[in-house]
Amino acid sequence: MHYVSTRGGGEPQTFSKILLEGLSADGGLYVPEEYPQVTTEELANMRGMSYSELAFAVLSKYIDDIPPEELRKMISETYTKEVFGTDEVVPVRELGKGLFLLNLSEGPTLAFKDIALQLLGRLFEHALARSGEELNIFGATSGDTGSAAEYAMRGRKGIRVFMLSPHERMSPFQRRQMYTLQDENIFNIAVLGTFDDCQDVVKQVNADAAFKSRYHLGAVNSINWARIAAQVVYYFWGYFKATRSNDEQADFSVPTGNFGDILAGYIAKRMGLPVRRLILATNENNVLEEFFSTGKYRPRTGAEVATTSSPSMDISKASNFERYVFDLVGRDGTRMRELWDALGSEGAFDVADSEDFARVGESGIVAGSSAHADRVRTIRAIFEKYGVLIDPHTADGVATGLRLREGGVPLICLQTALPEKFADTIREAIGREPEASARYAKLADMPERFEVFPPEAEKLKQFIAAHAR
């Protein structure tokens, strides 16, 4: 299996080559040369597998340059009850007839990013051990992604994490979750400023190419291919749990921002999983819904991004969308460069009148969006009807999923976070806060470990230089 750039440049690369890299040198994203197919027989075998066995069956199609037994070991050490709370790893619950919740949120940070990042931590450690290199992950977080990265990389050899967060501006839950980590390779840096200030400092430090290379600075971002591949697995899992036989089809409803989660579903469908429709759900930041209804893709400016009660979907552009557009344009790198040039010069592109847009139908994606009032109403309705509390991101998916649902086909809604992370919205919906899980309650007695810094790149560089290797 080789990987090619969406902009058509460069030579095809192996999985291990692209694992630690973000972008291709031509600015594009890596995608598999072709989507591996699952045969009818393979699908039949997969139905009875445990999550970890299934993950190996799917991922070994994408990762063929790590010895299979080593890959199997990393996967089986990741998808365990110890890490994800239950033997199923991803529990599936039927709410009402044909309506399912795929619970991706039982990992250490109680949100779905753990599913891919927990494996990524092991893959990174393995790759670094092979090459003898070190990696210093350096980034900024407003709360969620950074903590998932820290929990994935804690204690991993050859890796340190320097994570900036806005001092005293995170929710108590987010702060406790990150700052109570005691691992020596995790450095929490509380910046006296906003999340934007944190991002600016990260940019300034990264702009010093000599420093960046001397200290092996890297990132764990949402365009990492291994993350997408790891997410493909749970579409297979959810499908098997919600259907009785592989002759049936199922629909998925997916709350999305960066187009990462739904891209994984699209790839599962392309591999041959009997997915009928993928319902893409955005919040008020509806860049993607706009594309699917009009053919125009217009990323927003920072000032246009609304702060919502499903904050992990508050994005200005959808960083993984390029991988999907590559297929829409028939994998034509030249056309991709034209479209992304138009994004650069005009801030948008429009494919409404082209054959490309016609391929949207084949891909099975339909889109909708919801707003704060819809989320609150949906959280309340699901709680009253089924006694189950969902978080605001999941509620975006459920709201749009139920609106676009068609009868006779199971609807599987992705549960992307647990409600206790978003107590304010839950209180608004049902009049009281959700109960904290035992795992979070345990954090209450742990000391916090963080350094406070002004938003100054030079001071940060000194700190990194003193602690990095």
Ligand X SMILES: *Cc1c(COP(=O)(O)O)cnc(C)c1O
List residues with catalytic annotation: 113
Region near ligand X per CB under 6 A, out of 71-79, 260-268, 437-445, 454-462: 260-268
Q: Chain-centre distance of CA 285, in angstroms?
A: 17
Structure tokens at 344: 């650069």
Does 106 contact ligand X by CB under 6 A? no
Structure tokens at 106: 């039982």
Applying CB under 6 A, among 147, 174, 199, 256 the residue interacting with ligand X is 256
Minimum Å distance from CB 195 to ligand X? 15
Count of chain residues binding ligand X (CB under 6 A): 17
Kindly tell me which of 128 and 318 has the beta carbon lying closer to ligand X: 318
Does 289 contact ligand X by CB under 6 A? no
Does 417 contact ligand X by CB under 6 A? yes
Does 103 contact ligand X by CB under 6 A? no
Does 139 contact ligand X by CB under 6 A? no
Q: Strand 349-350 relative to strand 296-297: parallel, antiparallel, unpaired?
A: antiparallel
Structure tokens at 98: 């044909």
**What is the crossing angle of helices 225-242 and 51-59, to 10°?**
130
Q: Name the residue whose CB lies closest to ligand X.
A: 260
H/E/C letters for each residue in 226-281?
A: HHHHHHHHHHHHHHHHHCCCCCCCEEEEEECCCCHHHHHHHHHHHHCCCEEEEEEE
**What is the crossing angle of helices 68-78 and 113-131, to 10°?**
140
CA distance 236 to 240: 6
CA distance 279 to 430: 26
Minimum Å distance from CB 116 to ligand X? 9
Applying CB under 6 A, among 122, 126, 167, 393 the residue interacting with ligand X is 393
Minimum Å distance from CB 227 to ligand X? 8
Q: Chain-centre distance of CA 244, in angstroms?
A: 28
Q: Which of residues 397-416 bind ligand X (CB under 6 A)?
A: 416
Does 285 contact ligand X by CB under 6 A? no
Does 177 contact ligand X by CB under 6 A? no
Task: Give me the residues paired with residue 5 across strands.
Answer: 30
User: Under DSSP, is residue 3 helix (H, G, I), strand (E, B) or coil?
Assistant: strand
The pattern of x and - marking residues 262 through 281 that bind ligand X according to CB under 6 A reads: x-------------------
Does 368 contact ligand X by CB under 6 A? no
Q: Which of residues 302-341 bind ligand X (CB under 6 A)?
A: 312-313
Does 258 contact ligand X by CB under 6 A? yes
Does 107 contact ligand X by CB under 6 A? no
CA distance 469 to 464: 9
Kindly tell me which of 238 and 257 has the beta carbon lying closer to ligand X: 257
- Please report the sign of the dihedral spanned by the C-alpha atoms of residue 49, residue 53, residue 58, residue 61: negative
Minimum Å distance from CB 8 to ligand X? 25
> By the criterion CB under 6 A, which residues form the site for ligand X?
111, 113, 144, 222, 255-262, 312-313, 393, 416-417
